[in-house]
């Protein structure tokens, strides 16, 4: 089956994606019937999204229930481009009713974000699964300022100190703090401040010094490491060195360490030293 449009035809598989994104179960049922044989799991274009991902983004719980019940689609199926799962999409786009799937997979609908995330976890979604850039669902929620999603993910076991590859070593707290600075309105800034507060209460840490240096350049991290190791050697304080290395970028010990002079070892004048008989 194809639909004619001004610049050509729309294939039946593409129509399934459109129907899933708009919540039209009857259209999907018709398109995937023996008469038209469209695929309910066909990946579309370079993004590699399946119909279930389109339904999750649009918050169409009925379509999700129907696809899971009839075709047993994989709930941890990733998109091709960003490698996102359903839980990534739920956290990123903030759809409160993405899925309500109990043992029978056809339970009542829900409008509660925490319940949504819990049900996704119940059916096998990994709360800490990472995408192409090693972002977890909590990274997604923190970066988009979705407080309810952040709280729900933390309650259900999300790693608050998970690090991603881009920006290198960034934690959810680092993303929330960085993006908050880019916001214009007070309302937006306050929203990110609330996200940061929840993350800190759960023990979240900022990006550390060496992860920051790696994201800039390797010569930078080499220079910093050399200076810190020199200081630690002279002070004979291994514990202090470890504390500085793991400290947040803007922490006082880091600033002090970078500004402190390197303590040189005493030079012995062997030429004029007295000879001991």
pLDDT in tens, 133-190: 889 989 999 998 989 889 888 988 899 999 998 888 899 999 999 999 999 899 999 9
Is 198:192 a contact under the CB 8 Å cutoff?
Answer: no
Neighbours of 253 (CB within 10 A): 14
Residue 8: strand pairing partners: 5
Report d(CA 159, CA 168) in Å as an integer.
Answer: 17
Q: Which residues of the chain have pLDDT under 50?
A: 1-6, 99-111, 249-255, 257-277
- Per domain, the residue ranges of the chain are 1-71, 74-109+118-209
Is 17:51 a contact under the CB 8 Å cutoff?
Answer: yes
Considering only CA atoms, which of 156, 160, 152, 157 is closest in space to residue 176?
160
Task: Assign 272 to helix, strand or coil.
Answer: coil
Considering only CA atoms, which of 271, 243, 272, 267 is closest in space to residue 257?
243
Query: What fold characterizes domain 1-71?
Result: 1.25.40
Decide if 1-71 and 74-109+118-209 have a common fold.
yes
Report d(CA 100, CA 192) in Å as an integer.
Answer: 28
pLDDT for res 119: 66
pLDDT for res 89: 79
| b/e 44-64 (16+ beta carbons within 10 angstroms → b) | beeebbbbbbbbbbbbbbebb
Q: What are the C-alpha distances in Å from 128 to residues 94, 131, 159, 163, 240?
A: 17, 10, 7, 11, 32
Residue 3: strand pairing partners: 10
Residue 127: strand pairing partners: none
Considering only CA atoms, which of 200, 210, 209 is closest in space to residue 172?
200
What CATH number belongs to 74-109+118-209?
1.25.40.20
DSSP, residue by residue, 11-38 = EHHHHHHHHHHHT-HHHHHHHTSTTT--
């Amino acid at each position: 089956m194809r639909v004619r449009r001004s610049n050509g035809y729309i294939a039946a598989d593409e129509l399934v994606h459109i129907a899933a994104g708009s919540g039209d179960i009857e259209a999907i049922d018709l398109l995937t019937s023996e008469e038209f044989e469209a695929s309910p799991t066909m990946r579309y274009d370079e993004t590699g999204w399946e119909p279930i991902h389109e339904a999750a983004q649009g918050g169409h719980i009925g379509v999700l229930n129907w696809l899971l019940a009839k075709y047993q689609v994989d709930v941890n199926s990733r998109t091709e481009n960003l490698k996102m799962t359903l839980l990534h999409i739920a956290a990123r786009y903030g759809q409160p009713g993405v899925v309500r799937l109990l043992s029978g997979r056809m339970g009542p609908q829900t409008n509660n974000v925490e319940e949504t995330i819990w049900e996704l976890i119940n059916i096998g979604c990994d709360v800490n699964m990472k995408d192409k850039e090693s972002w977890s669902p909590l990274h997604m929620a923190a970066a988009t300022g979705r407080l309810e999603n952040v709280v729900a993910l933390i309650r259900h076991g999300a790693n608050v100190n998970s690090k991603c590859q881009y920006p290198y070593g960034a934690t959810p707290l680092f993303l929330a703090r960085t993006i908050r600075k880019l916001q214009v309105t007070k309302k937006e800034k306050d929203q990110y401040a609330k996200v940061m507060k929840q993350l800190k209460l759960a023990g979240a840490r900022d990006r550390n010094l060496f992860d920051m240096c790696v994201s800039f350049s390797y010569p930078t991290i080499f220079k910093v490491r050399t200076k810190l190791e020199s200081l630690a050697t002279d002070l004979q304080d291994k514990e202090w060195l470890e504390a500085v290395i793991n400290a947040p970028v803007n922490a006082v010990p880091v600033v002090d360490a970078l500004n402190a002079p390197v303590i040189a070892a005493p030079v012995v004048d062997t030429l004029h030293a007295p000879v001991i008989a």
